[in-house]
């Protein structure tokens, strides 16, 4: 059997407007790769109820795990928790365990746990909390959907909290061969290599440096020995 699969739903008008650059997808992809979970799809959507419900429903039906980022803060446009609850028909309200976490956090800092901040303690029935060691307000897991904050430092901390609870597969190993030739010159070699090593992923990524053209050939797979054999063969064929 192959590795478990995952999808990501990046939520936020600020991402789609270009005001904020998303870094969470890049981080998640790297962490999932190390854990043996294959990230197969990423969608970016606005803070829109219909879009969020449709997106999470579709992705949760076709992947083993769905990770969301954004929209679980204290303001009126933070609607992700509401939408996840509606998608799965779960009741949503302030939950005692989440409230206690926030109360302890704000008491420690001498800040009031007001109605706006209390919004972050609204958790769907049946969901498990995701620890947030950065700013306390928890994320949550409902079914196979892991709901996390959009702020990169918090998102990364939540991923670190979630991943140990998930069963992964074989970590994907990779090697890169730097070739100072154009893609057109090595395309035939790559096609033959891909045919003979169908269990591996072989990608070619062109670059330009100091006026010279080249390509980074990246060979990926779960079997390190197979990756070694493929890279060694290609290097030999290209006289590298």
pLDDT of residue 51: 96
pLDDT of residue 208: 87
pTM above 0.75, yes or no: yes
pLDDT of residue 68: 98
pLDDT of residue 211: 79
Q: Which of 5, 38, 47 is nearest to 150 (CA)?
A: 47
pLDDT of residue 18: 92
- What are the residue boundaries of the structural domains of the chain, listed by start? 5-165, 173-237
pLDDT of residue 191: 96
Low-confidence ranges of the chain (pLDDT < 50): none
pLDDT of residue 2: 83
pLDDT of residue 59: 98
CATH code assigned to 173-237: 3.30.70.600
The secondary structure of the chain as a DSSP string is ----EEEEEEE-HHHHTTSS---HHHHHHHHHHHHT-EEEEEEEE-S-HHHHHHHHHHHHHHSSEEEEES--SSSTT--HHHHHHHHHT--EEE-HHHHHHHHHHHHHHT----HHHHGGGEEETTPEEE--TTT---EEEETTEEEE-SSHHHHHHHHHHHGGGS---PPPEEEEEEE-S-HHHHHHHHHHHHHHTTTSEEEEEEEEETTEEEEEEEEEES-HHHHHHHHHHHHHHTT-
Q: Do domains 5-165 and 173-237 have the same CATH topology?
A: no
Question: For 154-182, what is each residue's pLDDT tens digit?
Answer: 999 999 999 999 999 888 889 999 999 98
CATH code assigned to 5-165: 3.40.980.10
Are the beta carbons of 151 and 115 closer than 8 angstroms? no
pLDDT of residue 171: 86
């Amino acid at each position: 059997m192959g590795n478990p699969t995952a999808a990501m739903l990046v939520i936020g008008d600020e991402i789609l407007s270009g005001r904020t650059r998303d870094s969470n997808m890049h981080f998640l992809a790297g962490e999932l790769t190390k854990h043996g979970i294959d990230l197969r799809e990423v969608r970016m959507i606005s803070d829109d109820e219909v879009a969020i419900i449709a997106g999470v429903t579709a992705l949760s039906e076709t992947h083993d795990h769905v990770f969301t980022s954004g929209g679980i803060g204290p303001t009126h446009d933070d609607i992700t928790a509401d939408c996840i609850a509606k998608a799965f028909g779960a009741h949503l309200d302030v939950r005692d365990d989440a409230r206690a976490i926030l109360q302890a956090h704000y008491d420690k800092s001498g800040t009031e746990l007001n109605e706006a901040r209390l919004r972050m303690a609204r958790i769907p029935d049946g969901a498990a909390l995701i620890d947030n060691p950065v700013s306390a307000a928890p994320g949550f897991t409902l079914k196979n959907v892991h709901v996390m904050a959009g702020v990169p430092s918090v998102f990364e901390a939540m991923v670190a909290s979630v991943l140990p609870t998930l069963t992964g597969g074989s970590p994907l190993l990779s090697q890169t061969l730097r070739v100072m030739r154009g893609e057109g010159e090595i395309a035939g070699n790559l096609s033959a290599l891909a045919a003979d090593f169908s269990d591996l992923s072989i990608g070619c990524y062109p670059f330009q440096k100091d006026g010279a053209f080249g390509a980074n050939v990246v060979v990926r797979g779960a079997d390190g020995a197979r990756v070694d054999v493929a890279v060694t063969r290609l290097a030999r064929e290209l006289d590298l």
